[in-house]
Amino acid sequence: MTEASTPEAGVPLSARDIQALIPHRWPFLLVDRIVEYEPSRRWIVGRKGVTSGEWFFGGHFPGLPVMPGVLQVEALAQTMAVYVARQEGFGDRIGLFAGIEECRFKRIVVPGDTLRLEVTMEKLGRRFGKGRAVASVRGEVACEALLSFVIPPEGALR
């Protein structure tokens, strides 16, 4: 049994569980479930079922619905945020994007697709972190990037 499947790891996580960890809410919560989580590997996997009713398809693009690449990146960042929130000492601290590097879009994402959102943390400090992120559909890479975040000092966001 892997760590991800043990009760202590608390996987899978539902959208409700995710909302207890990060501040994102509908319509901007872009992770439906966390399905794998292995802190020893610094690794997490989420899922996003892309439906024809998504709010962004009305304008992107009429008659040819394609999930915007920037929202694929956001879904990966939210998955990374769940990983960080589960680490000791991070809990309710909010991370903000610090950078998106090496970003590539390799496949369109359309209604009916399920995005697999995989993040491997490369660095995690008290105020900064970086993770290698890959969004894929049926094993085919849709988007990949190196994402970084910063956690502002207490009270800086008020």
Q: Give the separation between CA 86 and CA 81, rounded to whole angstroms.
A: 9
Of the candidates 42, 47, 60, 107, the residue annotated as catalytic is 60
Residue 17 to residue 121: CA distance in whole angstroms: 21
For residues 36 and 11, the answer to whether their CB atoms sit within 8 Å is yes
Name beta bridge partners: 143. 105, 135
124, containing H or E segment? strand 114-124
Closest CA to 151 of 93, 66, 79: 93
Is the C-alpha dihedral spanning 90, 96, 98, 101 positive or negative? positive
- Per the annotation, the verdict on 60 as an active-site residue is yes
Query: Rounded to 5 degrees, what angle do the CA atoms 61, 67, 68 make?
Result: 85
- Point out the residues that are catalytic: 60
